[in-house]
Amino acid sequence: MALDQNLKRKLTKDLSISLLIYSLPVLAIYLYFKISNGDVTESHLVLPSFLEFVKPAFQNIRTWGLIVFMLVLGAIEFAAGLYDDQWTGTERKIDIICFLAPKLLLPPVIAFFSLTALPYLIPSLENTLSWVPFWGGFFLIAIADDLTQYWYHRLHHQVPFLWRFHRTHHSAPYMGMAMASRQNFIYTVFFSQIYLTATLAYLGLGLPALFVTVIKSFITLGAHSSIAWDKPFYKYKVLHPIAWVLERLISTPATHHAHHADTSGDGVGYFKGNFGNMFFIWDVIFGTGLITRKFPKSYGTKSYKSEEWYAQFLWPIFKSKKEGSPLADGVLALPISPKKETTSVNQNIYEPVQS
């Protein structure tokens, strides 16, 4: 399915605006040194004094703290019954595999990219940005990393071919820590922004990258959680001004849950937008956001719920055995269990691709 002309024009316009946004932190750093007559008085390698005491905490959070946070928050969600008995055997398999696989797949890939590929491709550029102040490196990476992921995510919804590699993330009939990492392995391995951030770290911005990664992880995990931590901001009038800023700046449960709804016809679900990961402001800038302060009644893509774990995680290497499934056009069908009666899937049921 080809992209229509209106969508092409909008993509071209929004990409042009993105180039300007990418340049803003670079311009800010340039003006800073222009005003200070080029006097490099600090480096990003030295944290501002008020942040120095939290550096060990961020390092520990990055290595093992986020995993513990996900497990604890997931346990709270289960204890509170927020999954409504929807975590069936099939759902458990895909969630657990997608949680564990990146921990095994990505470290060697990123290590090879950072320690072998980059020194080979750009050997003379290592630490060339080490002179950039911490604040400059922080905003440079925050914008570059998250805006790049916004586009990676958005294009996987708007380009039909790319949607095939992202639909696994929208197959869960629930929201929560259990499905936060639920992605097809190709979508995960080619996650565009992780290579960009690794490159900026190689160029000398490793410390700002650490802080951005940890902060972003908490925001994105919080947006996927079934614990609606943002509801008090909508409930109490005194907090409404904070809510107005918060929901336009970062992704919240309300805005991101809408993105995972199983319908867009109720005025709440919005799979055609709300693509932001850490920052929701990209959706505000590009007109792809919908803020309702309401939560969908149900989640997931209707056309392939309860698909086999291997078809969702390893498509197109392995295909679904269900007749009419969007995942049935892979290469192999893995005989992982005795063949069951096939389930017919109506191909006309919604597929959340914007065209």
Residue 248 has pLDDT above 60, yes or no: yes
Separation between Cα atoms, residue 75 and residue 94, nearest integer Å: 18
| Per-position DSSP letters for 234-294, written without gaps between them | HHSGGGHHHHHHHHHHB--HHHHHHHTBS-STTSS--TTS---SSBSHHHHHHT-----S-
Average confidence (pLDDT) over 319-337 = 68
Higher-pLDDT residue of 341, 160: 160
* Per-residue model confidence as pLDDT tens digits over 164-217: 899 999 999 999 999 999 999 999 999 878 999 999 999 999 999 999 999 999
- The two structure tokens encoding residue 113: 């990219």
Average confidence (pLDDT) over 296-311 = 84
Separation between Cα atoms, residue 59 and residue 203, nearest integer Å: 19
Rounded (5°) CA angle 98-269-295: 85
Q: Can you say how many angstroms the Cα of residue 250 is from the centroid of all Cα atoms in its chain?
A: 12
Percent of the chain with pLDDT over 90: 61
Average confidence (pLDDT) over 318-324 = 83
The closest of 87, 105, 85 to 95, measured between CA atoms, is 87
Q: Report the pLDDT value the prediction gives residue 82, as an integer from 0 to 100.
A: 82
Separation between Cα atoms, residue 228 and residue 248, nearest integer Å: 16
Q: Are 264 and 271 within 8 A, CB to CB?
A: yes
- Ranges 88-92, 312-316, 320-324: which has the least confidence: 320-324
Confidence of residue 80 (pLDDT cuts 50, 70, 90): confident
Average confidence (pLDDT) over 95-112 = 91
Mean confidence (pLDDT) of the chain: 87
